[in-house]
Structure 1
Amino acid sequence: MMLPLHRSIAETERAVQRRLGGLTLQREAMAAVANIHRAAAAVRQHLENSVLRPHELTWTGFVVLWVLWIWDQQETWSVAEEAGISKGTLTGISRTLEGRGLVARSTHPEDRRRVLLSLTPEGERLMEELFPAFNAEEAFVSGSLSPEQCLQLADSLRAIVGRLEECGEQRRRELLDGETLPPRRSGRRPRA
């Protein structure tokens, strides 16, 4: 049987209802979080394919440029944290961006082991050119919402992020019941 390549939100929600119909769940919370994920993935894919690809940028590469554009020179750990990526991922992305002349790497004046990243003049020019087009696509993506609905959505999402920033770590500790999390894995199993 051939599966469709793309399923609509309505099809997915019907399939979820069939699968989970007998379970006692907080369905409103499930719908909210599932649709945050779906929306984020759809928006990311649209922006990568419409605005970023012509500039040979990935989503993550753009986010690193954005962080440096907004916050100026930053230590690598800070850029990784702001971009929501690991330092290892940042190393590869920053090397690519550095090779393209968009990002400069320098040592910290107080500690040579620490690395600073900043936009080059070419990186600044790219962001000044790129961001208006990026924002035009943000407007396209949210075009079915009124300005008031956009602000309400932003406030709702900000509340979710704020809850996780304020209470998420405590909740994780409670769920782990004193256990420590194993280190993140790539998904590969160790060889026998």
Structure 2
Amino acid sequence: MPSQRSISEAEKLAEAKLGGIPVRREQMAAVANIYRAASAVRQHLENSVLRSADLTWTAFVVLWVVWVWGESETRHVAEESGVSKGTLTGVVRTLESRGLLRRTGHPTDGRLVLLALTPQGEEFMRRVFPAFNEEEAFVTGRLSDQECRDLADGLRRVVLQVEEEGEDRRTALLNGEKPTPRRSGRRAKG
């Protein structure tokens, strides 16, 4: 479903709101459009191929990570999937109940849990991923193959910047202090 507001309209409104505030507009537009693109693509994929496969985005990403990396510790799957270990637990329960994923104890460290696709999960990914990839081709349909390669390279460099230098930047911005734990957004009752 198309947005009620266009990207062009949002950019014009932001420019008007910022007026003379000194900001780096090109970088602002790049990050805003990374977010917009990610949201639009995720929504499209969730409402098309993932809906017909009865999967959430997160469940698909978890399956993808385990499919690509093979049997993995839950902490690595959570990190690669970009979710908390608590969120992963619920997703794993659902995928286990559908027979797509199995959870086993680590052979040498009883505190660790390993995840692997079942044969049914392997077959599921071999069947669903081509349909997912067709939608990847659809959402990038206005880009040439070279533009897709250039975009992928540019986004890789954004990720590397954050992975390699983000921790130092956060430490500097926080004057060396540890970040406060995230909250649910609710204010403490006073």
Bin for the TM-score computed over the shorter chain: over 0.9
Does structure 1 residue 181 correspond to structure 2 residue 179?
Answer: yes
Displacement of 1:190: 3.2
Say which of 121, 130, 133 aligns to 2:131. Answer: 133
Structure 2: which 5+ residue stretches go unaligned? none
Does structure 1 residue 153 correspond to structure 2 residue 186?
Answer: no
For residues 90-101 of structure 1, the aligned pairs below 5 Å read 90-101=88-99
Displacement of 1:6: 2.2
In 2, distance between residues paired with 1:99 and 1:170?
42
In 2, distance between residues paired with 1:139 and 1:98?
30
In 2, distance between residues paired with 1:151 and 1:65?
25
Displacement of 1:60: 0.6
In 2, distance between residues paired with 1:45 and 1:86?
21
SS of the residue corresponding to residue 123 of structure 2 reads helix
The residue type equivalent to 1:24 in the other structure is P
In 2, distance between residues paired with 1:22 and 1:60?
40
The residue type equivalent to 1:73 in the other structure is E
User: Residue in 1 aligned with 2:85?
Assistant: 87
In 2, distance between residues paired with 1:160 and 1:54?
32
Question: TM-score under structure 1 normalisation?
Answer: 0.95
The residue type equivalent to 2:129 in the other structure is F
User: Residue in 2 aligned with 1:37?
Assistant: 35
Say which of 102, 119, 122 aligns to 1:121. Answer: 119
Say which of 50, 55, 68 aligns to 2:53. Answer: 55
- Structure 1 stretches of at least 4 aligned residues deviating more than 4 Å after TM superposition: none
Displacement of 1:69: 0.3
Does structure 1 residue 166 correspond to structure 2 residue 164?
Answer: yes
Bigger shift: residues 58-67 or 181-190: 181-190
In 2, distance between residues paired with 1:179 and 1:73?
37
SS of the residue corresponding to residue 105 of structure 1 reads strand
Question: Between the two proteins, what is the percent identity of the paired residues?
Answer: 62
The residue type equivalent to 2:119 in the other structure is P
Question: TM-score under structure 2 normalisation?
Answer: 0.96
Q: Give the root-mean-square deviation of aligned CA atoms.
A: 1.0
